[in-house]
Amino acid sequence: MADSTIIKTRCFCGANEYSASTSNSSLPLRRHFCHCNSCRHGSGLLQYTAVDWPSPVPDSNTLTKYAFSKNCDTYFCSTCGAHMFWHTHHPTDYVAVVPGLLENPDSILDITSHIFVGDTIDGGFSDWLASFEGRPLPKWEAEEETSKVLASGWNGSEGQDLAQDLAQDTLRAHCKCGGVDFLIKRPREPEEADKPLDPKEWWVRSKNRYLASNCACNSCRLTSGLELVQWAYVPTPRLANASGERYQFNCSTLKSFKSSENVTRYHCGRCGATIFYWSDSRPQVIDVAAGLLEAPSGARAEGWLDWRMKISYEGDATHGRLLKAFKEGLEDWGKRNGKTYRVLRSPTFRFFVGKDRTCLTVPKCLAKDLSDPLHAMMNNEHMEEAREGRANLEDVEESTFVGFCEFAYTGDYRSRMKDPKPEVQSNNDAPSEEDVVPEKAAAEEEPMAAEPEPAPEPAFDVPIEDTWGGWGHNKKAKKGQKKSNTEHLWDDFKLLTFDDSVRTNEQPALNSDPSISHTPTASLLYHAKMYVFAQKYLIHNLRILALRHLHGCQQNLALTKRDTGDILEILEFTYTNTDRAQSNDDDLRKLIVHYAVCEAKILKRDPDLRGLLEEYGELACDLFYKS
C-alpha cells in the first residue's frame, strides 16, 4: 500500500496543470472557509478557502502573482482567471492550493470551521453551511481559536442595516485592488418600484431586488477556483460608473475570457477577482459576482438581492460531500428565514392606531418584503419611530390595520363585515379546491434559461351568471333584440381583471367576525379602505387583493334603494383619498365608477347624489365619460 497520494490541480483553460505528492498521514486535507472582506473582494465570492500544497508555488509565466497583503501573495491563471495558489511568507512559509480545482476532492478534503464571520455582518455564506456531515461548523468572529465563536443565526446588524439597504438607490461593487469599481442601480426607477412583476423580467424580484443564486457548474468552478460561485443577475443598463454614467466594461484591469462560444467571463487582471459572466443567449443581463458588493446589511446584501433556494447546475458538482452539506444548509436557512421563524425571533413594535389610539403590538419583521415604508418605520434607526419602538397611525382605522396584519401572515384578509353571498349557494360551507387560489410555486425556473412563470389562475371562480337574478337588467335579450347600454356595461364589468401576475391566497366569501356589522355595502367600504392603506404604504399585492375582493362583492350585491347612501359614501371616500395624478389610484376610481354607472337607475334616485357631484367635479366627469 502506497504511503503517499498524488494530488492534481488544473485550471479551466489548461494553461496551469500541476501535481504534487502528499503523505497519507496528512489526509484528509483540512480547510476552513474565510469570510473576511479582503477574501470576498479578492475572489468575488462570499467565501474563500485553501488547503496544504506540499510543494513550492510553480514558477510559471502562465500564473499572475498578486500581493494580497504584506505577508502573503495569491496566484491565479493569467488567461482564465482561476485562483490557484496562496503563499504566506510570515510568520511561517506556507503554500496552499485553492481546492475547487483538485481532482477527486471527496477522498482528500475535510471542512473544519468558518473564520472572520464578523466581517460579513449578516453571517454570509456561513449560514448556508452550518454543519458538515453531522458536525456543526464553528463560526469564529475572526481568527480560529483566538477569537470568540458566534452563535448560530448570529446577525451583527439586527435588521437595522437592512433598512439602509432598502433605502439605497445605488450599490457599490469593487474588487480588492480597486481596479474594477462600479455602481449597481435598482432594477427599476423609484417611481416604478411598486410596478407589478413582469414574468419576462425574471431577474427582478419583490421589493425592487435582483435575483441571486449559487452556481455549482464546472465552468464557474474551474474559472474561479471555488466549488460554489454566487451570482446576482443585473441588466447591463443598471450598471454605472462612479459619476452615474453607463458602465463601459473598458477599465484597465478588467480582462475577458471566452469559456465557450457564447459565454464571456471577466476577472480583474491585477487581483484576480471574479467579476462578470455574460452570455449572448441573454445579452441584456449580466451576472455580477456577489462577493464584490458593499451593502450596509452585510455580505448577502439582502436589501438588494433575493437569494434563490436552489443550486444551479448541481448535477455538475464533483465535490459531492460539500454540495450535500451545502444543499441541506441552504434549505434549512430558507426555512429559518421564513415568516414563522422571523416572527418568533423578532423584537416587537407598537402601533397606536385610529382616533382612540388603540395599541397593537406586532413583530418588527412584519412588513419585511411587503412594505418598505412600514419596514423602515420599524427598523431604520435613522427614524424616530424605530428608535422609540412606537408609531402613531391615527388616520388608519383599527380594523384596517388588523386586516393588513392578517394579510402579512396569511396572504389574505378577512372582511370585518360579512361578504354578500351569491344567490346560488353550495351546501358545503368550506370553499372548494377550485375556489382557492394556490400558493405561489416554490420552485423557480433556472435563471440561465429563464422562462415565463405559468399564468396565474383567476382570482375568483364564482358562477357570475347566477348572481344577477332579480336585478331587472340581466335578462337575456330576446332573439334579434339588441342589448341595452346598461347590459353592455355589466358584461364589461364582469370581465374586469386586476394584474394577473399577482398570486395571492385569497378565498372568496370568508366568514367574518359575527360581532361586527353584516351590512353588505359596508364590506365594499372596508375593501376600499384596505386599498387606500396598501396604496399609501406601497403594498402592491394587498392593493390588487383589495380590488379583487371589492369586485367580487360588487358582483354579488343586489343593490336596493336603501343602500344607495352607502354607495355614495364609498364614492366620496374614494375621491377624497385617491388622486387621479397617480395612475395606481385610478384603479379604485375606475372600478367604483364602473359599478356606479351600472347601478345608475337606482343611484340617481338618491337626492344626495347631486350634492356629491357638485363637490367632486372629477367624479362627475368620470361618471359622464363612463356612461
Fold agreement between 4-150 and 164-337: yes
pTM of the entire structure?
A: 0.64
Question: In which region does residue 533 sit, left (phi positive, over 0), alpha (psi from -120 to 50) or beta (all else)?
Answer: alpha
Res 139: pLDDT: 97
- Confidence (pLDDT) at 170: 95
Contact 607, 600 (CB under 8 A): no
Q: What is the pLDDT of residue 188?
A: 81
Chain segment 98-125, per-residue pLDDT in tens: 999 999 999 999 999 999 999 999 999 9
CB-CB contact of 105 with 15 (8 Å): no
Helix/strand/coil for 618: helix
Cβ neighbours, 10 Å, residue 423: 13
Of the listed ranges 76-90, 95-109, 160-174, 446-460, the least confidently predicted one is 446-460
Q: Cα separations (Å) of 511 from 294, 420, 483, 549?
A: 48, 10, 36, 13
Consecutive H or E run containing 396: none
pLDDT band at 250 (very low <50, low <70, confident <90, very high): confident
Q: Sort 582 into a burial class: Cβ within 10 Å, 0-12 / 13-18 / 19+.
A: exposed
Alpha-carbon gap, residue 615 to 188, rounded angstroms: 38
Contact by Cβ (8 Å): 417, 522: yes
Q: Is the four-CA dihedral 117, 123, 128, 130 of positive or negative sign?
A: positive
Place of cell 367604483: 592
Give the CA diameter of the chain. Answer: 103
Question: What does 223-286 look like in DSSP terms, one character per residue?
Answer: HHSSS-EEEEEEEGGGEE-TTSSBP-S--TTEEEEEEETTEEEEEETTT--EEEEEETTSTTEE
Question: What is the rounded CA–CA span in Å between residue 45 and residue 63?
Answer: 20
Picking from 20, 49, 1, the residue whose alpha carbon sits closest to that of residue 224 is 49
User: What ranges do the domains of the chain cover?
Assistant: 4-150, 164-337, 343-394, 485-497+519-626
Burial status of residue 265 (CB atoms within 10 A of its CB: 0-12, 13-18, 19 or more): buried
CA distance linking residue 179 with residue 252, whole number of Å: 7
Q: Is the confidence at residue 58, as pLDDT, over 90?
A: yes
Nearest-angstrom CA–CA distance, 142 and 104: 30
**Cα 561 from Cα 601, distance rounded (Å):** 10
pLDDT per position as a tens digit, 340-362: 666 766 789 999 999 999 999 99
Res 445: pLDDT? 37
Three-state DSSP class for 393? strand
Mean pLDDT for the stretch of residues 167-174: 92
The residue written with cell numbers 443565526 in the block is 153
Reported as a pLDDT band with limits 50, 70 and 90, residue 435 is very low
Residue 87 phi/psi, 5-degree rounding, is -125, 115
* Residue 359 CB neighbour total at 10 angstroms: 10
Domain 4-150: which CATH class?
mainly beta
Residue 439 has pLDDT above 50, yes or no: no
Residue range 164-337, CATH number: 2.170.150.70
CB atoms within 10 A of CB 77: 27
